[in-house]
Structure 1
Amino acid sequence: MAGKLNFSLVSPEREVFAGLVDQVDAPGVEGDFGVLPEHAPFMTALREGPVTVFTGTARRVFTVKGGFADVNAEGLTILAEEASEVAAA
């Protein structure tokens, strides 16, 4: 795997998370999906559920309530209707 994934999780109130990560798993309306560095571009709507962020052996979990995910050459951006961290491991 080459490099890191630039990931940003944004709610209407604030940027909830921003940083370089190894992988992000998210709840798409058509099923859960994972994004790694250099993933092909796509955009999808999100349903309510967990967004799991992996960096090395660390894992952080956020909950989102709707929104959109956009994967492009710069990385992954999730624009969530609501988002908050629920667990850190």
Structure 2
Amino acid sequence: MADELTVDIVTPDERSFQGPANGVRAPGIEGSFEVREDHAPMIAAFGIGPLIVKTQAAHEYADMHNDRIIFATSGGFLEVIDNKVTVLAETVEPASEIDVERAESAEERAKRRLEEGVQEEERETHEAARDRARNRLRVAMGKVGTRQS
């Protein structure tokens, strides 16, 4: 493939992915969006949701069809310039590395705290924790990237 994207995904702690791709789909603040080759330059914020890198190259994180890598992310920014996509994420975790039991525990803990009743200023924190856990579970169980998700 002559013209493809170069994707670089970084968090404050590490570089999570670097390599060629056919496209990147991100959970935009106002709806998901996709970047493909020759996309106009842009900077966009994204929120909690699946970050999907579509690739033809074999990669340790690729799913069973070996054509995409799915990450659970908690938000950040994405920049596109000259077929280079840079993702600056708060957190990013490949589906294959998600600890499902830990994510289930985090979801239950957040739900329990919300049901117990919390101060208004704490509610948003617990709702975000619940949403992050649910996203990690969806990504780990492969329930993203289809029309139903």
Common fold by TM > 0.5: yes
Superposed, 1:73-84 pairs within 5 Å as 73-84=82-93
Higher normalized contact order (CA 8 Å, seq sep 6+, divided by chain length): 1
CA RMSD of aligned residues (A): 2.0
Can you list the C-alpha shifts for 1:51-88, whole angstroms capped at 9, x where unaligned? 1111136111001101101111251111001111014x
Q: Please state which structure has a larger fraction of its residues in helix.
A: 2
Task: Point out the structure with max Rg over C-alpha.
Answer: 2
The aligned length equals: 89
Superposed, 1:43-58 pairs within 5 Å as 43-56=43-56, 58=67
Percent identity, aligned pairs only?
A: 38
Alpha carbons 1:64, 1:81 under 8 Å: kept: yes
Please give the alpha-carbon distance, in whole angstroms, between the structure 2 residues aligned to 1:52 and 1:76: 12
User: Which runs of no fewer than 5 residues in structure 1 stay unpaired?
Assistant: none
Structure 1 counterpart of 2:51, which letter? Answer: V
User: Which runs of no fewer than 5 residues in structure 2 stay unpaired?
Assistant: 57-65, 97-141, 143-149
Q: Runs of 4 or more off by more than 2 Å in structure 1? A: none
- TM-score of the aligned structures, taking structure 1 as reference length: 0.89
1:66 equivalenced with 2:92 (yes/no): no
Q: Please state which structure has a larger fraction of its residues in strand.
A: 1
- Alpha-carbon distance, 1:3 to partner: 1.1
Structure 2 counterpart of 1:58, which letter? Answer: D
